[in-house]
A = this chain, B = another copy of it.
Amino acid sequence: MSERSVRIVLVGLGNLGRRFAGILADKSSDVWRRYGLDLLLVGVADSRGTAYEPRGLDPALVARIKSANRPIHEYPQAGRRGSAALDLVQHAQADLLCEASPVNLSSGGDPGLSCIRAALARGMHVVTPNKGPIVLAYRELVLLAKERGVSLRFDGTVAGGLPALYLGMRDLRGALILRVEAVPNLSTGLILDQLALGISWDEALARGRAEGQLEADPTWDLDGWDAAAKLVILANAVLDVPASLQDVARTGITGVSLADIQEEARRGNTFRLVALAERCPDGGYHLSVAPRPLSLVHPLGRLGSRGMGIVYSTDIYGTIVATIEEPNPLPSAATMLRDILDIYVHD
């Protein structure tokens, strides 16, 4: 086991980023003991500023500042108000970028996309649970990483903490994937389950927002954009299909009637927003997102409100199902640790 230091810049300190700082605080000594890796958080950025310290910030303090809803430029000594994330990524002495800023598909994918481009161009590895840059620029970023001889990992973009992408990309190597069916997010299932209980749309949306499961703009989830984005990433990374959002036949959940949901619930079925890739006779895949009632015998038909999952139907590996029960966003944040260890650990 070779010992080495990994200097990390973390951009985005919301739900996932601040939890990742907490994971670094909790896990660093264990990661050192088990893998000989010294994970050193040297820089962090939120939307209002940065903190940078080449000898290492205290990740527990970063987590505490953000859990108290304070801006990170209040970090003692190292904080810089108004300093931009991109500037940090371009100038920090660091080996790896964790990009966890908010998803942005409507205005060029920034700040995430620019930060990822800059990091890869500088020869830094990148791990990110941010769907935006991967959906908008998959091929470009994969190529750039390859050119610079660095790694780009994004396991957290699909189905939270479930290694849905690694399963498809690594464990199914050599197979023809006939069909992929996924419940790739929590937000819509949470709302559908409440509607099934007779709770009104307005109340269900309010609860989803209160639990932090809905983006600021709920149409992102409700109209199926989030599920479509995840399907696009699956298509590119697992199915090797150069798909974009326009290639997904997309139906959101707002058209589902309360009567339908409650009728299916009476039969024991659960409505979920399902992302589907079906192989066509021409070798391509038909990509769709739509709400579907799943029966109890469906492998994803018994996911709870905190469950996500994926079904891979293959020619030689049978049908493989993977699900996760995610009581809070910790597993999604932990995908950044999974990705980092995947880059550095070779056993």
Contacts and interface: CB of A to CB of B under 8 A. Distances in A.
Interface of A: 23, 27, 30-31, 35, 160-163, 166-167, 169-176, 296-297, 299, 302, 316-327, 330-331, 334, 337-338, 341-342, 345, 347
Nearest to A146: B347
A327 B320 contact: no
Nearest to A160: B318
A142 to B, nearest CB: 9
A297 B171 CA distance: 27
A341 B80 CA distance: 47
B316 A337 contact: yes
30 contacts: A27-B316, A160-B318, A162-B320, A163-B167, A166-B171, A167-B322, A169-B347, A170-B342, A171-B338, A172-B338, A173-B337, A173-B342, A174-B334, A174-B338, A296-B302, A297-B302, A299-B323, A316-B337, A317-B324, A317-B331, A317-B334, A318-B326, A318-B327, A318-B331, A320-B323, A321-B322, A321-B323, A321-B325, A322-B322, A322-B323
A40 to B, nearest CB: 16
Contact of A171 (B27, B163, B175): B163
A171 B172 CA distance: 14
Of all A-B residue pairs in the complex, the 5 with the closest CB atoms, nearest first, are: A163-B171, A318-B331, A316-B334, A173-B341, A319-B325
B324 A320 contact: yes
Given A161-B320, A173-B338, A174-B334, 14 more contacts: A30-B174, A35-B173, A161-B318, A163-B320, A171-B338, A174-B337, A297-B302, A299-B323, A302-B302, A316-B337, A317-B331, A318-B325, A318-B326, A322-B322
Given A31-B174, A174-B341, A337-B174, A324 B316 contact: no
Contact of A324 (B163, B319, B327): B319
Given A173-B345, A174-B341, A316 B167 contact: no
Contacts of A345: 173
Nearest to A336: B174
A296 B347 CA distance: 37
A163 B160 CA distance: 19
User: Which of A161, A171, A319 gathers most chain B CB within 10 Å?
Assistant: A171
Contacts of A338: 171-174, 317
Given A167-B163, A174-B31, A324 B318 contact: yes
A32 to B, nearest CB: 11
Nearest to A321: B323
Contacts of A316: 23, 27, 161, 330-331, 334, 337
User: Which of A322, A337, A345 gathers most chain B CB within 10 Å?
Assistant: A322
Contacts of A320: 161-163, 322-324
Contacts of A337: 173-174, 316
Nearest to A332: B318
A331 B320 CA distance: 10
A166 to B, nearest CB: 6
